[in-house]
Each structure stands twice: as C-alpha cells, then as structure tokens.
Amino acid sequence: MIVAVCGLHGGAGTTTIAALLARAAAAQQPGRVLLCDSAPGAGDLALALGAASPYNLTDVARLADDRQTPAEVPWLEQADGLRVMARAPARRAAARPDAVVKVLRDAAAAHSLVIVDAGALQSEHAAAALHAADIVLWTLDATAQLDRCAALLGGPLATDARHARWLLAASATGRDADVPVAARLTELVPTAARLILIPAVGHRAAIAPERLLAGTQLLSALS
C-alpha cells in the first residue's frame, strides 16, 4: 500500500505527520515500512529526522529511467526498522513522473507500507506521488482558510488522486472552535472518507506523548 501525505497549505506539518505515521507503522505493523521524500532537493524530511540516506526517491527514479541501479542500498534503516529514503537539501534535477510512479509501485511490492512525504499540493513533484497512491492523507491545520483548501481539492492538481481513498488530517488546537472547523471541512470535502483531528504537532518529528498519539490515530485511520 502507498500512502501519499500532501499539504493543503504551507506549514501544515506534512513532513512531521508523514514521519509520525511511518514511525507508528514501523512499531505496530508486521513487515517493512519505507518513508520517502518526493521533493528532488528540498531535504525537509532528512532535516526533520536528523538523518539522510544515500539516495532519494527522484534519484532512484532517474537511475531507473536510465536503466541503472543504485550503487548501494538507497535507504537508511533506523533502529526501529523504519527505512528512510531522504537526502539533505541540495539542488537536484527532478525525475519524470511516470518513472517516480514505477519506483513507488516497485517499492510497494517489497514493503508492507510505503509512505511518501509529497510536500504541498501546489508543487509539481507531488503529482507523481498522488498518482501512485492508494490513500492520500491531506494535511491542514484548524486555522487554515477552509474554502481555499476545498477549492484546491476540487482543482486540477488533485486530479491524479481521484482514484485513491482520501483522508483529511487536521491539526487541532484544543480550542472549542475545532469542532465547527471539523464540521465545516466535512461539508466542503464530501469525497473524503474520514476526518482525523490530531493534536498540533509542530514541525519536527521528535517523540513526545502527543506526537505518539497523533501517529497512532493516523495509522488507525488507514484501515
């Protein structure tokens, strides 16, 4: 199964949510879990985890496009068994979307779960991850402009994700206003299978009780 985590606005905590979901899956699910970054060179995932692998997703896709294989294992395996494919920030060329889709599908055949940090919906490199995904987890926070988020989900950039199951993950502030925000989201995006309100997680993937809770909630929503 391939899960693409994609943000509906800047600062939605997309990278952190992808990392928390992956850590929860590595701890609780049988089989291998792969977490990868779809951006050619942003390096957000590597920075959040404090670890970088020899290759990222676009590196492997470009090699596959040239009928080459990586010279070494492309991912970094962490102590909890989670495999991470994410490189430090640098200028790198993007890969063709169909090559990325093929790499993701090959990875899904070798892992029980592949999670992709697809960045923001506005970025072109998100399209390949959305096209390959079985589930798309759209992220936003409770202070977002909900009408604009709904418009993005109805727009052309989300077209490649129409075949997938949609989930919405809204970072909650703990205020009473979160409940009407959740109700409004459900009205605006009726195609979403489920809305998950999770504790606000910030922008780092460090382990803390509220973050562990968010990861467990997200993992449960996948089933």
Distance CA 136, CA 205 (A): 20
Question: What is the tally of helices (H) and strands (E) in the chain?
Answer: 8, 8
**pLDDT score of 43:** 81
Query: Right CATH number for 2-222 from 3.30.465.10, 3.20.20.10, 3.40.50.300, 1.10.3720.10?
Result: 3.40.50.300
Helix (H) or strand (E) holding 196: strand 194-199
Distance CA 189, CA 215 (A): 23
- For residue 122, give both structure tokens: 């506005």
**pLDDT score of 41:** 75
Find the angle CA(216)-CA(24)-CA(187) to the nearest 5 degrees.
Answer: 45
**pLDDT score of 49:** 86
**pLDDT score of 208:** 53
Q: What residues contact residue 190 under an 8 Å CB cut-off, 6+ apart?
A: none
Q: Which amino acid is at 7?
A: G
**pLDDT score of 93:** 83
**pLDDT score of 205:** 46
Question: Phi and psi dihedrals of 23, rounded to 5?
Answer: -65, -40
Q: Per residue of the chain (223 residues), give pLDDT as tens.
A: 999 999 988 888 889 899 999 999 998 877 799 999 988 877 888 888 888 899 999 999 999 999 999 999 999 998 888 999 998 888 888 888 899 999 999 999 999 999 999 988 877 778 889 999 999 999 988 777 888 888 888 888 888 788 999 998 888 766 665 666 777 877 888 888 888 877 766 555 444 555 667 788 888 888 8
- For residue 39, give both structure tokens: 């951006």
**pLDDT score of 191:** 83
Q: Are 134 and 165 in contact (CB under 8 A)?
A: yes
**pLDDT score of 201:** 60
Q: What residues contact residue 90 under an 8 Å CB cut-off, 6+ apart?
A: 41, 43
Domain boundaries, the chain: 2-222
